[in-house]
Amino acid sequence: MKKLLLLFFFLSLPVLAFSQYYTEGFESYDSITIPPDWKVVNNAGFPIYPFANWTIRDSGKALPNITVSVEKRSRAYNSLKAFDITWGAGIDTVSGTPTTSDAWLITKKFNNIPVDAFFSFYACGGSASYLDSLQIWVSPTGDTALSSFTTKLSTIVWTPPVLYGNFTNYTFDFSQFVGQNIRVAFRYYMVVSDMGYVVMLDQVEMFGTIGVNPIGSNIPKEYALHQNYPNPFNPQTTIKFDLAKASNVKLEVFNSLGQLVQTIYNGFKPAGYYEATFNAASLTSGIYFYRITTDNFVQTKKMSVVK
């Protein structure tokens, strides 16, 4: 097997320079449910055990085809849950023969990619004895058909020995897709007869300065966070806020359990009036809370998503 190259672009600029307009830590899902508009595909050409394919698990759970032990269980980078896939994705359940896996995890669609966009996630793979890899693909058309994933960004390779469960951040410049509606896919393509172990994926995020725009040129006398409109809404709403002084600004959305579901903006803004666009296409119906945090002001308000 030819040696796979690890080609990824890492941006070391401070996070405060960018708006984080999508984040998914998989905390609201389980082994049966996945985030809205995401998709799991087995393209191996033979049936496999479904839970060996991309599955969201709590930390500390036993993994298919992995010898059960305390140190070789599912893990997460952040909080409790993560997506994982094992070498069992390459085992034909009819013949029992381990061959080559071809398992895809496809993200939601990201619309109108901004010029400064970059994509980030945390992943780990392999073991002390087994090599693992993960391919990163992009569909420039935003389709879910595997044939639409024509741009291969990288193949991440974990060459043994590696420390089991040691998550690393991988970041890719997405400015080449500016203005396009795209999807990202994680492909587990391994000859599992002699390679492959487990790959775990967590904290998928998209960054880029979109969604927050100044309104006029006046300076407000007070800080304020206004009620979103429309409310209830589906899938998009507008949130306005006022900054009496220049400040670091974080505008976040939480579910009814207090879990962060999206960071609309995280950066520095001059004093002024602003409006932000929030898209809830990836969320289910329910009550959510949005909160603004600045250097001198914090406020939270409630909004409703109705689908």
What pLDDT score was predicted for residue 2? 33
Q: Which of 9-23, 275-289, 290-304 has the highest mean pLDDT?
A: 290-304
Number of other CB atoms surrounding residue 268 within 10 Å: 12
Residue 15 is given by DSSP the state G
Query: Which three-class secondary structure string do you get for 120-164?
Result: EEEEEECCCCCCEEEEEEEECCCCCCHHHCCEEEEEEEECCCCCC
What values do phi and psi take at 183, rounded to 5?
Answer: -130, 155
Q: What is the largest CA-CA distance in the chain?
A: 73
> Is the pLDDT score of 75 beyond 60?
yes
Q: If pLDDT is split at 50, 70 and 90, which confidence band does 9 have?
A: very low
Q: If pLDDT is split at 50, 70 and 90, which confidence band does 210 have?
A: low
What pLDDT score was predicted for residue 78? 85
Q: What is the pLDDT of residues 28-57, one digit of tens each?
A: 999 999 999 999 999 999 999 999 999 999
Beta bridge partners of 265: 251
| Nearest by Cα to 166 from 204, 205, 199 | 199
pLDDT exceeding 90 applies to what percent of the chain? 72
- pLDDT-wise least confident of 5-19, 80-94, 278-292: 5-19
Separation of alpha carbons 7 and 301, rounded Å: 43
Q: Which two tokens stand for residue 75?
A: 């893990």
Q: What is the three-class DSSP state of 50?
A: helix
What pLDDT score was predicted for residue 4? 34
Identify the architecture of domain 212-305 in CATH.
Answer: Sandwich (2.60)
- Pairing assessment for the beta strands 260-269 and 39-42 based on DSSP bridges: unpaired
Q: Indicate the CATH number of 15-207 among 3.40.50.150, 2.40.33.10, 2.60.120.200, 3.90.550.10.
A: 2.60.120.200
Q: What are the boundaries of each domain within the chain?
A: 15-207, 212-305
Q: If pLDDT is split at 50, 70 and 90, which confidence band does 112 have?
A: confident
pLDDT exceeding 70 applies to what percent of the chain? 91
Beta bridge partners of 122: 169, 202
